Chain A
Amino acid sequence: MNIHVKQDEAAKECRLDDMKQGILGRDVSRPDGLPKVTGTAPYAAEYKIDGCLEGVIVTSTIVKGEVTNIDASSVLDMPGVEAVIDDPRLTARAAQGTAGEAPAQPARKVGYFGQPVAVVVARTFEEARDAAKHLKIEYRVEDDAIVDPEEADAEAQGDGTKMGDLAEAMNSARHSVDVVITTEGHNSAPMEPHAAIAEWDGDKLTVHASLQMLNYNISELADSLDLDEEKIRLIARYVGGGFGSKLGVSEETVAACVAAMELQRPVRVVMSRQQVFQCVMRRSETRQRLRLAADEDGKLIGFGHEARVSNLPGEEFAEPVLQSSEFLYRGENRLLELEVARIHRMTAGSVRAPGEAVGMPALEAAMDMLAEKVGIDPVELRLRNIPERHPAKDLPFTDHSLAECLTKGAEAFGWDKGPRKPMQKREGEWWIGTGMASAARVHNVSEAKARVTLKADGTALVETDMTDIGTGTYAILTQLAGEMLGLPVDKVLVDLGDTNHPRGPGSGGSWGAASIGSAVFVACEAVRKQVAEKAGVSENELSLSDGRVMNGATLTDLLDGADISAEGHYEPGAISEDYTASGFGAFFAEVRVNRYTGETRVNRMLGSFGFGRVLNAKTARSQCLGGVTWSIGLALTEGLKFDPRDGHLANCDLAEYHVPVNRDVPEVEILLLDGRDPLASAIQAKGVGELGMCGGAAAIANAIYNACGARVLDYPMTPDRVIAAMPENA
């Protein structure tokens, strides 16, 4: 049975709140936990396949031009070497998220330093790696590549938002801020490198790969290989982190498939860590101008946010820096414009929370500067500027929790209200200070399908090609199905990451849980109807818990040997167009800054978040902790460094690109403001995977200023930048 629900209206009465099992929302441990902690969960490269060959990617040593010759004979005599794959189907870049079509081909056309151009296949990894280093390649170099975004021409992205007269508002405002803030590029750096094993039986491909969105990836792969989707099965049961870098199919997956098809043997291709940095996606650097104009009470009358980002020629993705700035604060005179510089650095694409991850830290630092000028508490400044409706589109908001997050967060943190002055507290060499920032991340929900089967043995099976990239999909779908069908968690099996199952939404843009959760919910409603029929009651009267129907009969008795199955198909309708939906939050941080070295350490942090229904308190909190950790990295340590001559990424590993380590992360308190957003999805939930890093870096930046008086305008705020900005008297 197939059920299709298109949501045009608010899900005001959600059956989830009438259920009796009592597991949804609770802090249930992940069902995939024991396989993970015991090392028995298989990731993409870890399937044991007889006769599997090893492929190693060879990358370009030029920036722009063309490969004119790949001399396979230079390595074919080396021990163990089976083949050099040099094929027009090999891809030069990773696909952008939700592309659904092949990324740039052929690999022989070079657009950036470090681009994959060929693959060497050998019997062992050591043999393939050695041969890859010896492969002779000739190029025709084009020496007109621009690699610096400041030197390149920029293209406007759309028309932007223009309302009233911002320049006039800035002139007439009682208080104003006009500031340029920059952020450096970032790498997703998931702990599992991109990997794939491809098997070709002469007709069909079976591919184990590390990917976030199989529903799109299968189309991207089919298009890359010029093969029908029906001839491909993609499997990704465990994905070792993605953070955007595994949204689109990347070069190693296509390479493994091409090699397996050419050689008629299974082939594994795993990127080195350096290749993960250089060949997949970077978050663009940004240069942002913020203009805030306020009246004497701090109410915004003008709001300007302009940003310049970069990408390769031909790439559609532009870091959507202004995404939440469009609606977060009031101001009738508005100017928001985004432009993209075309340069020959590696592909820019989605890295966790594209847009807000860098837009919010800039906006929220500027808001801190405005609060100081107006002479009011920065929390109060934000409370005074929450708009009633989307300021430009004039749309109503769905559930809006910013004010609650700000006030509850401030109270829990012990925020010192009132106007603030820097350099008030010092302990030895360390200045101590606090700062805060708002959080916002647009809510997305997308089409999704899942099959739910209530089995005759009294267990339930949930099947979809949706992935769990660490986000907790296994846990929340177990809870949703268990809640609806009255089963404890150990009676529900969730089978994910296989394109043989109904197509989910993929993991990305924080839309996974709300979308696939709604599909499972819709399927469960249909199953319940059939159970109710068998029990001779209406669905509304049907009460299920612990495998029993309300009168005491077991589900097994009631089913009498027959399974009940339904495929749920959820699709957002008018709710996506008629409203502005966002998750909201607030960050509070206490830091210490060393007077002599400029080193910043975070003493403690608190984040309060509102995103509708909390599906699992434990995994939702973990998502927020992860976001706060990324906020610390973005504020203090993370930045891609490109060689100004050829645009190659100089810090392309985990020793030189500094993600936060355990000791960088202090006590972090997370407040989950459990709510209901009936306009967000059928299960009244919004996304939470990215919200925790949308603004957090500004709480740290503002705390640095409050501590020592250094107003640093460039992220990350490394010791050299902090010391240079520190006032004489600090």
Chain B
Amino acid sequence: MTETITVNETEYPIPADPRVSLLDFLRQHVGLTGTKKGCDHGQCGACTVLVNGMRINSCLSLAVMHGGDSVTTIEGLGNPENPSALQKAFVEHDGYQCGYCTPGQVCSATAMLQEIDNGWPSDASESLEGEVELTADEIRERMSGNLCRCGAYPNIVAAIRDAAKEDAA
């Protein structure tokens, strides 16, 4: 069994208490509080991080299950001096208000764009096969696991479309 978890390219020991969720491990043990706790029950998406490139709700997973995994948090995607294209687009389009769901939204969107690139269909897709077009409805459907109580959804969709365009260019 591997005894460490890699977070944003740094290795950390797995906590001794097996009850520690991946979310609390990141916030309390690693000290990266960019990942948010909104419900602790996988209902809001505020704790979304990337594990080996895939988005998950970190509150629904125990740290002890992630030996050898590579976790990317919001702090691993960019920082105020060097934000990612998505982070910049969220600022430009006001894709947030209070900001508490935002790291989860950005992590989720980062992985979601990759899922579309990979051709994974969703409930909003015309077909189960072939390329997926990045329509507003595709984004809305695929981002519906990330709640935003402030109601920034239309701006979040606009930010993601904008960042995806910039990436493609």
Contacts and interface: CB of A to CB of B under 8 A. Distances in A.
Given A190-B149, A659-B149, A660-B151, A471 B73 contact: no
Contacts of B50: none
Interface stretch (A341-349, A417-425, A533-541, A627-635): A627-635
Contacts of A189: 149
A665 interface: yes
A273 interface: yes
A621 B151 CA distance: 11
B91 A655 contact: no
A43 interface: yes
Contact of B44 (A188, A191, A272, A663): A191
Contacts, number: 192
B28 A125 contact: yes
Interface string A270-307: 10110000000000000000000000000000000000
B46 A191 contact: yes
A655 B35 contact: no
Interface stretch (A33-41, A144-152, A371-379, A714-722): A33-41
Q: Which of B36, B91, B97 has the most CB of A within 10 A?
A: B97
B38 A192 contact: yes
A102 B88 CA distance: 43
Given A37-B90, A190-B100, A273 B38 contact: yes
Nearest to A273: B39
Given A48-B31, A190-B149, A667 B36 contact: no
B74 interface: yes
A183 B22 CA distance: 39
Given A37-B102, A241-B98, A273-B39, A627 B151 contact: yes
A193 B38 CA distance: 6
Contact of B149 (A38, A41, A241): A241
Contact of A622 (B24, B94, B102, B136): B94
Contacts of B36: 43, 191-192, 240
A38 B34 contact: yes
Given A190-B149, A273-B43, A662 B99 contact: no
A546 interface: no
B24 A273 contact: no
A193 B149 CA distance: 12
B101 interface: yes
A191 B31 contact: no
Interface residues of B, number: 64
Interface in A205-241: 238-241
Contacts of A625: 151-155
A30 B43 contact: no
B79 A622 contact: no
B144 interface: yes
A240 B99 contact: yes
Contacts of A243: 149
B165 interface: no
Contacts of B130: none
Contacts of A45: 33, 37
A125 B37 CA distance: 13
B151 A629 contact: yes
A127 B28 CA distance: 14
A403 interface: no
B78 A41 contact: no
B19 to A, nearest CB: 4
Contacts of B88: 37
Q: Is the interface of B mostly helix, strand, loop or mixed?
A: loop
Contacts of A628: 151
A98 interface: no
A470 B150 contact: yes
A46 interface: yes
B80 A35 contact: yes
A239 B80 contact: no
B99 A661 contact: no
Interface string B38-72: 11110110100000000000000000000000000
Contacts of A272: 40
B126 interface: no
B153 A273 contact: no
Interface residues of A, number: 64
Q: Is the interface of A mostly helix, strand, loop or mixed?
A: loop
A124 B19 CA distance: 11
A660 B73 CA distance: 26
B99 A238 contact: yes
B164 interface: no
Contacts of A34: 80, 83, 87, 91
A45 B35 CA distance: 12
A45 B31 CA distance: 12
A126 interface: yes
A241 B94 contact: no
A662 B143 contact: yes
Given A241-B98, A630-B151, A662 B38 contact: no
A661 B144 contact: yes
A424 B26 CA distance: 55
B93 to A, nearest CB: 9
Interface in B126-167: 136-137, 139-141, 143-157
Given A39-B103, A126-B19, A663 B141 contact: yes
Contact of B140 (A127, A627, A663): A663
A37 B144 contact: no
B43 A241 contact: no
B32 interface: yes
Nearest to A32: B99
B154 to A, nearest CB: 5
A85 B142 CA distance: 44
B11 interface: no
Interface in A1-45: 29-30, 32-43, 45
B5 interface: no
A619 to B, nearest CB: 7
Interface in A648-691: 653-655, 659-665, 667-668
Contacts of B103: 37-39
A618 interface: yes
A321 to B, nearest CB: 23
A626 interface: yes
B111 interface: no
A38 B87 contact: yes
A41 B103 CA distance: 10
A117 interface: no
A192 B90 contact: no
Given A240-B99, A663-B140, A40 B151 contact: no
Nearest to B96: A36
B92 to A, nearest CB: 6
A469 interface: yes
B113 interface: no
Given A191-B38, A625-B151, A37 B98 contact: no
Q: Which of A37, A42, A189 has the most CB of B within 10 A?
A: A37
A625 B96 CA distance: 11
Contact of B87 (A30, A37, A192, A626): A37
Nearest to A626: B151
A26 to B, nearest CB: 13
Contacts of B102: 36-37, 39
Given A124-B17, A653-B39, A33 B90 contact: yes
Closest 5 CB pairs of A and B: A39-B34, A629-B151, A240-B100, A470-B98, A36-B99
5 contacts: A32-B99, A43-B100, A125-B24, A663-B143, A665-B151
Given A37-B87, A661-B153, A662-B146, 5 more contacts: A29-B92, A34-B87, A38-B75, A45-B37, A189-B149
